[in-house]
Amino acid sequence: MEKNILLRREFGDGNYMAALAGVHAEIQYSMDFQITPDTQFVEHLFDFKRRGILPSYVRTQLANGENDAFTACHMASQCGRRVITGSCSQGFGFSYESIKSLAGSRCPVVIINASRTTSAPVNIHYGTDDAYIFENCGLITVFARNPQEVYDWTLLMFKVAEDLRVQLPVIISYAGFDVSHTVTGNTVLNEEGLKIYRKWLGKYVRPNSLLNPGHPVSLGGLALPPFHMDINYALMKAGENVISVTKEAIKYFSETIKKVPDIINGYKTEDAKYLVVSMGSDFGTMKEAVDVARERGVKVGAVSYAMFRPFPVEDTIKMLKRAKSIAVFERCPAYGRRMGIFASDISTSLSGLRRKPPVMSCISGLGGRMFTVEHIDNIIDRLTRPDEWKNNLRPTWIGVNGGA
């Protein structure tokens, strides 16, 4: 079957595409609390229901706050419902207890995050520190670069999260305003494509559902020392399955329906001696900077990570091991650390190499601060002289007084 007969064109921003993907995955429940710049995701869900695009039995509600919203989603997932919700920034902080419980209870809820920096000071623009809040909580976290990828990753991660080898919640993170409010043309599934996708996805069947009277279970019990560590070990083992299950999903989707990005993607990396690395929407700016540097003869390439948790160590080694030096850009502060969290993950992944390339940790674009081709080009120039920075005791802050 020709893939193009499975697709149609749809214009929408990141929030719209996230909501549309939830409709296409046949969600059964959503409770949300609106927060900028995630608000329109919730509004689109309500509009889809008003227009009859979401079935009438699908429950969409507004909560009194994120803690209430995620607790309700937790209960719905425990009862065997396919659930989507969303939040960002301070809302994620308010919902920490509930989201952490989703992972520990193995609830495959899909969480939409129009990523926004956290206070104080108050700021409503792009920063990844809200997604980083849960970096050690057992959740899956992926970063989408544009509205098209928001749609694709949301469809894929319902399949991955609900896989019996995984059964974990997932955060789909994308740039607040830069992606959440930018309208682009996208390819989405038409009716024929939806039939294939929904057959592959299947109905969500919750193991040990609370609604199964023939198999009663308890919820929220106290786990004393003989059990608590084993439960967390099982959570870790489930996380170890995520990358292989995700690759299976990517392979099927790309071969059967439409090509989708891998968990790590490169640009002009084949002969690159130097690499610049990021997550999310900054990749477009990085590609421009690579082209500028290539014009003056610097063999540099760009690498974009989609998967942040679990961290793809083997793929990192394969992609980055040949570089002479690497710069990692992230939109999250690194207080009291020599490197940002993302840069530390990369540096640690490469630590077993006989010749480990030095890694420069770069903090950029906090709170929506401009992050330009010139900024990246300056760092690329410094990559060619690693002896000047490889022993730095703190990250390089870009575009700030006293920074690079």
Looking up tokens 């390819």 gives 187
Q: Which CATH number fits domain 3-256: 3.40.710.10, 3.40.50.970, 3.40.50.300, 3.90.870.30?
A: 3.40.50.970
Strand partners, 265: 304
For CA atoms 229, 347, 246, 101, give the dihedral sign: positive
Q: Per-residue b/e over 53-73, b at no fewer than 16 CB within 10 Å?
A: ebeeebbbeebeebbbbbbbb
Structure tokens at 331: 């939109």
Can you tell me the distance from the alpha carbon of 17 to that of 180, in angstroms, rounded to the nearest whole number? 9
Structure tokens at 349: 């992944």
pLDDT score of 2: 52
Can you tell me the distance from the alpha carbon of 142 to that of 159, in angstroms, rounded to the nearest whole number? 14
Going across the sheet that includes 110-115, the strands are 84-86, 110-115, 170-175, 140-143, 307-309
Tell me the angle at which helices 191-201 and 225-256 cross, rounded to the nearest 10 degrees.
150
22 DSSP assignment: H
281 DSSP assignment: G
Q: What share of the chain is helix, strand, coil (3-state, %, to 5)?
A: 40, 20, 40
pLDDT score of 226: 87
pLDDT score of 210: 81
Nearest to 300 by CA among 276, 328, 327: 276
> Is 264-397 the same fold as 3-256?
yes
pLDDT score of 64: 78
What are the sequence ranges of the domains in the chain?
Answer: 3-256, 264-397
First vs last C-alpha separation in the chain: 52
pTM of the model: 0.94
**E strand map for 76-204:** 84-86, 110-115, 140-143, 170-175, 184-189
Q: CB of 14 within 8 A of CB of 176?
A: no
Going residue by residue through the chain, which has 404 residues, state the pLDDT in tens, using 9 for 90 and above: 556 799 999 999 999 999 999 999 999 999 988 899 999 999 999 999 999 888 766 776 676 788 889 999 999 999 999 999 999 999 998 889 899 999 999 999 999 999 999 988 999 999 999 999 999 999 999 999 999 999 999 999 999 999 999 999 999 999 999 999 999 999 999 999 999 999 999 999 888 888 888 888 877 788 889 899 999 999 999 999 999 999 999 999 999 999 999 999 999 999 999 999 999 999 999 999 999 999 999 999 999 999 999 999 999 999 999 999 999 999 999 998 999 999 999 999 999 999 999 999 999 999 989 999 999 999 999 999 999 999 988 999 998 876 55
Can you tell me the distance from the alpha carbon of 47 to that of 173, in angstroms, rounded to the nearest whole number? 22
Structure tokens at 384: 């060619």
- 264-397: CATH topology: Rossmann fold (3.40.50)
Task: List, as one string, the DSSP characters of 314-359.
Answer: HHHHHHHTT-SEEEEEESS--TT-SS-HHHHHHHHHTTTSSSPPPE
Nearest to 283 by CA among 180, 376, 145, 143: 145
pLDDT score of 403: 54
65 DSSP assignment: S
Strand partners, 29: 59, 83
Listed in sequence order, the residues at least 6 apart from 286 whose beta carbon sits closer than 8 Å to its beta carbon are 267, 276, 278, 302, 304, 329, 376
pLDDT score of 208: 82
